[in-house]
Amino acid sequence: MPTLTSLLLTSLTLSHSLLASPLSSDFLPRHSLQDDLPQTPNSVGHHDGYYYMWWTDGVHKATYNNLPGGKFSIIWKANTRESGGNFIGGKGWEDGKNRTIKYSGKFELTKKQYIAIYGMTQNPYNEFYILDYHGTYNPGPSTAKKLGEVTCDDGDYEIYRRGWWEGGSPPGITMPTRIYSIRKQKRIGGIVRTGCHFEAWKKLDIDIGTILFQIVAVEGYQSTGRAEILVESPP
């Protein structure tokens, strides 16, 4: 398995070639976390005009902060004594409009984390990710089926779908289908025109249903780190 250092060096090397990859300035320095991080209860709502959503399985210690305007921060620490440990949260809009979403931010580099435009839909029940950055874990090839590619906002995205039927859902439990656009040139910050992805998914006969919300989200899984994100587009 490659080390984190070698991956970071690879991405830095690539950033000097054709691929625009995150620069070291996109990453927050390592810091030591306090042991007793407050656990923010799951919630959805509105803050300073933005819709926000915060969910965790409770295995992580994870704190979500709504900061003024489009800002939010998340700090998390894996619980090494238990498996699991998953959270997702962020700010955006409670609709499915074609939006031009501008955001910026910083991460502390960890293994399993995403920054994405994330949303949920109903009829049918989907989760979607326009995944601008992922750590060592790429959910596309790991769990899903590749359906195509699309170029949006100067980036090449691979489109994957993971059906509930492929996910090993327990009988009687309805799991969402996951739709992914995964950016090859990873980045933390930029402009995402969501309509470009919605249209590309439709062309591939993906039934995205009715979009309930779209947020700039950070997700983490079995990792420890922090993120500070600013949604720059108005609420």
Ligand X SMILES: *[C@@H]1O[C@H](CO)[C@@H](O)[C@H](O)[C@H]1NC(C)=O
Which residue, 15 or 233, has its beta carbon nearer to ligand X? 233
Size of the site for ligand X (CB under 6 A): 4
H-type helices in the chain, by residue range? Answer: 4-15, 139-143, 194-203
Residues 172-201 that bind ligand X (CB under 6 A): 195-196, 199
CB of 196 to ligand X, least distance (A): 5
Q: Is the CA virtual torsion 11, 12, 15, 17 positive or negative? A: negative
Q: How far is the CB of 98 from ligand X (least distance, A)?
A: 4
Other C-beta atoms lying within 10 Å of the C-beta of residue 134: 21
Active site residue 127: yes
Provide the minimum distance between the beta carbon of 202 and ligand X in the complex, in angstroms, as a whole number.
9
Cα 119 from Cα 64, distance rounded (Å): 18
Residue type present at position 186: K
Helix and strand totals (H; E) in the chain = 3, 15
Question: How many angstroms separate the CA atoms of 216 and 70, rounded?
Answer: 10
Q: Output the smallest distance, CB 46 to ligand X, in A.
A: 24
Question: Which residue's CB is nearer to ligand X, number 110 or number 121?
Answer: 121
> In terms of CB distance, is 107 or 198 closer to ligand X?
198
Catalytic option among 127, 166, 228, 232: 127
C-alpha separations of 162 from 141, 144, 175 in Å: 10, 4, 11
Residue 131 Cα to chain centre, angstroms: 6
* Cβ-contact 106, 227 below 8 angstroms: yes
Six token digits for residue 204: 């591939």
Interface with ligand X, residue 98, by CB under 6 A = yes
Contact call for residue 124 and ligand X (CB under 6 A)? no
| 149 a catalytic residue | no
Annotated catalytic residue within 94, 108, 219, 228: 219
Nearer Cβ to ligand X (199/207): 199
Shortest distance in whole angstroms from residue 198 CB to ligand X: 6
d(CA 152, CA 163): 24
Site for ligand X in 31-50 (CB under 6 A): none
Nearer to ligand X, 22 or 155 (CB): 155
Tell me if 75 contacts ligand X by CB under 6 A: no
The 10 Å Cβ neighbour count of residue 96 is 20
Interface residue list for ligand X (CB under 6 A): 98, 195-196, 199
Positions marked active-site: 127, 219
